[in-house]
Amino acid sequence: MGAPGVRVERDKETGVAVVTLDRPARHNAIDLATAAELTSVWREFRFDETVRAVVVTGAGEKAFCTGIDRSVEVPQPASPYSVDDPLIAIGPKANDLWKPVIAAVRGLACGGAFYLLGEAEFLIAAEDAVFFDPHTTYGMVSAYESVYMAMRMPFGEAARMALMGTAERVSARRAYETGLVSEVTPPGEEVAAAVRCAAVIAAYPTEAVQGTVRAVWAAKEAVRSQALAHAPQLVALGNLPPERQAELFSARGSGFRMR
């Protein structure tokens, strides 16, 4: 099942579903149709008792996800206190899904990809995975993305990634050292590793697993909720106009430092 941008495979024997962002020609960037389908998939899983654990990944070798597709136009209200964010509901927790989700990352994972990574229970990455946040380079506030990463990484690491923009990329090994990634695999083996973990978890009693997921998230939910509540205003007040963002994007360089 799925829209052109999302592919879903279920294994009813193991109870594991694999959700794949399937736009490899666009580095699995998310357009409005893909965002809507992700929301639909997570909400459907809430009622599907054959799905007890989920793996989310990206198609192809080049990218897990590069965030919002830059061809998407999202009209914004005039008020600085309101922001329409097309990615706000692409993650499982935003849709009240408390079944465990494991992210399998290969290639680029940047910007809006953090909405998905930030709501996974843990990440498994291929050795060629890289993480970065381009927002500041292009005159945009990294609000939601920074909150999600600050919940998963030491504060200084999250701040550095957000502030350095496209000038630096975080390697899979460095992501593992900082706790963002829980396991590093050879390229091409990240999905299989995630599915193995998901199958183990799916074999346990569902109520115990979902209760544990809720307990883990409860440990930081108050801080996360308060931080995310500030994000719309920060974005509205701090982002450059879209045309200026486009100019900066067009003038971008190709150099970066890998950490």
Q: Determine the pLDDT at residue 80.
A: 66
Q: Per mean pLDDT, which range of 11-20, 80-89, 140-149, 188-197 is the poorest?
A: 80-89
* Mean confidence (pLDDT) of the chain: 92
> Sign (positive/negative) of CA torsion 26, 85, 106, 200?
negative
Segment 122-143 shows an average pLDDT of 95
Predicted confidence (pLDDT) per residue in 169-220, tens digit: 999 999 999 999 999 999 999 999 999 999 999 999 999 999 999 999 999 8
Cα three-residue angle 100-98-229, rounded to 5 degrees: 115
Instruction: Examine the pLDDT at 226 and tell me if it is beyond 70.
Output: yes
Compute, in degrees rounded to 10, the torsion defined by CA atoms 129, 135, 137, 139: 170
Instruction: Examine the pLDDT at 35 and tell me if it is beyond 90.
Output: yes
Which residue type, as a one-letter code, is found at position 55?
Answer: V
Tokens (6 digits) for 94: 């935003």
Q: Residue 86 contacts by C-beta under 8 Å, 6 or more apart in sequence?
A: 30, 32, 35, 68, 72, 74
Backbone φ and ψ of 13, nearest 5°: -70, -40
Instruction: Examine the pLDDT at 84 and tell me if it is beyond 80.
Output: no
Domains (range + CATH), the chain = 6-70+85-208+222-258 (3.90.226.10)
Instruction: Examine the pLDDT at 4 and tell me if it is beyond 90.
Output: no
Q: Determine the pLDDT at residue 234.
A: 85
More confident residue, 182 or 71: 182
Sheet holding 101-105, edge to edge: 6-11, 16-21, 53-58, 101-105, 122-126, 183-185
Instruction: Examine the pLDDT at 2 and tell me if it is beyond 70.
Output: no
Q: Residue 9 contacts by C-beta under 8 Å, 6 or more apart in sequence?
A: 17, 18, 20
Predicted confidence (pLDDT) per residue in 94-114, tens digit: 999 999 999 999 999 999 999
Tokens (6 digits) for 76: 């914004």
Which among 219, 207, 183, 28 has a CA at the least distance from the CA of 116?
28
State what percent of residues in the chain have pLDDT above 70: 98
Q: Determine the pLDDT at residue 215.
A: 95
In 3-state terms, what secondary structure has residue 43?
helix
Q: Determine the pLDDT at residue 176.
A: 98
pTM of the model: 0.90
Segment 113-139 shows an average pLDDT of 96
State what percent of residues in the chain have pLDDT above 90: 75
